[in-house]
Amino acid sequence: MVAFAALLLPHEVEVLSIRPPPAGPVGLRHTSNPLRLLTPRPFHQKPRHPTRAGDDVRVRMVGAESLFVANNLAAVPLWSLMILFPKSRKAQSVMSSMAIFLPFIALYVFNLITSFTKPEISVAASSFSSLSGLAALFSHQAVVSSSWSHHICFDLFVGRWIFFDALRNRVPATLSLIATMLFGPIGLLLHLITRILLSKEGPKDALTDGVTDSLSDENLLRMVDDN
């Protein structure tokens, strides 16, 4: 009968044993309820509720991932304006405001604070002066998300400068902006080479020519209207 029952019951269920329970207090404790012997139990039981440590890890991962996505969603429209609509008056008006950087600064500060309030990250940050220590620090998702916020904000700042500088020197900047968005310094180098080769009157720069020249940032929107 035991062999026949084993064929009928699922494999995850223990087969009832016909051997008597072990003697002693342990046996009495397990046999205090006679119906318990007849209740099949699964071999592998998972806890109904996750541990608090597991919940904490899940919350941290979701937080870092959410900030990562928020940075990307905030940056894509601004890059799209500069790359796709360089002559648009509305694009010029949006990009001329320094307020476009405030969301990225806020995300970076929040990300930084939430990262380094965690003890394990603070310990890892104490040895970031070496390459191995830096690698250990960047093994935490929250730190990677903070670093991404840093890069997004600074890449956008450089991209904005390229955008206006290209208009000032009347040179194309589409490829330079795409390269800056993806590869940072390579895009900046590409723009510097482009304006040297294609600028008709020589490269003009607000830092070297002064902010009062006819092609300064203050007069840039007026120049775009004329085009």
* Contact predicate 169/179, CB 8 Å: no
Give the pair of three-digit tokens for residue 146: 């903070």
**Reported confidence tier of residue 59, pLDDT bands at 50, 70, 90:** very low
**Reported confidence tier of residue 6, pLDDT bands at 50, 70, 90:** very low
* Contact predicate 85/91, CB 8 Å: yes
| Residue 16 in this model has a pLDDT that exceeds 50 | no
pLDDT at 11 (0 to 100): 43
CA gap 138, 174 in Å, rounded: 33
Query: CA separation (Å) from 31 to 14, 18, 20, 22, 26?
Result: 17, 14, 10, 9, 9
Span 84-119, pLDDT tens digits: 999 999 999 999 999 999 999 999 999 888 877 777
| Residue 227 in this model has a pLDDT that exceeds 60 | no
Give the pair of three-digit tokens for residue 140: 């935490």
**Reported confidence tier of residue 130, pLDDT bands at 50, 70, 90:** confident
CA gap 50, 36 in Å, rounded: 27
What is the average pLDDT score of the chain? 74
CA gap 110, 67 in Å, rounded: 9
| Residue 5 in this model has a pLDDT that exceeds 50 | no
Is residue 13 helix, strand or coil?
A: strand
The closest alpha carbon to 215, from 180, 170, 171, belongs to 170
Span 139-196, pLDDT tens digits: 888 888 888 999 999 999 999 999 999 999 999 999 999 999 999 999 999 999 999 9
CA gap 133, 191 in Å, rounded: 35
Helices then strands, counting H and E runs in the chain, come out as 12, 0
